[in-house]
Amino acid sequence: AVVPEVEAPDLQVTINTGVDETSLEWLFTSPLDVVLPEGKILTNLKGKNAQSFALNEIKTVAEKDGTKFIDEQILGIARHVSDVMPLEFWEVLDQVWKQKNAIADGRAPSLLVVSSEAYIPWELASTEEDWIDPALLDPGRPPLLGAQLRVGRWIPPGPKRPRGVQRPALPPAHEIEIGRMALVIGDYYAENGQRPLPLAKEEGKTLALRYETVPLAATENDLNLLLSDTLEKGGQRVDVSSLHFACHGEVDPSNHRYNGIVLSEKAIRLSPIIVSGSKICREKQPFVFLNACQLGFSSELLADYGGMAGEFLRAGSRGFLAPLWSIDDQLAHDIAINFYQRTLDDGIEVGEVMRDVRSQFDLTQDIPSSTFVAYIFYGHPNLILRRPT
Divide the 389 residues of the chain into consecutive groups of 10 and give the mean pLDDT of each group: 68 92 93 95 82 73 87 94 96 98 91 90 96 97 98 92 86 96 84 71 96 95 96 93 89 63 82 92 96 53 57 95 89 97 98 98 94 96 95
> Which of 60, 136, 70 has the alpha carbon at shortest distance from 372?
70
Taking a C-beta distance cutoff of 8 angstroms, is the pair 320, 312 a contact? yes
pLDDT reported for residue 149:
99
pLDDT reported for residue 349:
98
Residue 168 lies in a domain: no
pLDDT reported for residue 326:
83
How far apart (Å, rounded) are the C-alpha atoms in residues 212 and 317? 19
How far apart (Å, rounded) are the C-alpha atoms in residues 93 and 53? 24
Domain boundary among 125, 154, 183: 154
Residue 130 lies in a domain: yes
Residue 5 lies in a domain: no
- Provide the domain limits for residue 75: 11-154
pLDDT reported for residue 22:
84
Question: Number of helices and strands (H, E) in the chain?
Answer: 11, 20
pLDDT reported for residue 196:
65
Do 143 and 270 lie in one domain? The reply is no
Residue 225 lies in a domain: yes
How far apart (Å, rounded) are the C-alpha atoms in residues 351 and 112? 10
pLDDT reported for residue 2:
41
| CATH number for 366 | 3.40.50.1460
Do 203 and 339 lie in one domain? The reply is yes
Do 61 and 130 lie in one domain? The reply is yes
> Which of 97, 89, 105 has the alpha carbon at shortest distance from 134?
97
Do 144 and 180 lie in one domain? The reply is no
Do 217 and 292 lie in one domain? The reply is yes
Taking a C-beta distance cutoff of 8 angstroms, is the pair 167, 314 a contact? yes
How far apart (Å, rounded) are the C-alpha atoms in residues 339 and 375? 12
Q: What is the DSSP letter of 21?
A: T
Residue 254 lies in a domain: yes
Longest Cα separation, the chain:
61
Do 144 and 242 lie in one domain? The reply is no
Indicate the number of domains in the chain. 2
Do 125 and 257 lie in one domain? The reply is no
Look up residue 82 and give its amino acid.
S
Residue 164 lies in a domain: no
Do 148 and 198 lie in one domain? The reply is no
- Which residues on neighbouring strands pair with residue 213, listed in sequence order? 181
Residue 364 lies in a domain: yes
Q: Which contiguous run of DSSP H or E holds residue 91?
A: helix 87-103
Residue 55 lies in a domain: yes
Do 82 and 133 lie in one domain? The reply is yes
pLDDT reported for residue 186:
86
pLDDT reported for residue 49:
74
Do 105 and 191 lie in one domain? The reply is no
Do 125 and 192 lie in one domain? The reply is no
How far apart (Å, rounded) are the C-alpha atoms in residues 288 and 291? 10
Do 138 and 244 lie in one domain? The reply is no
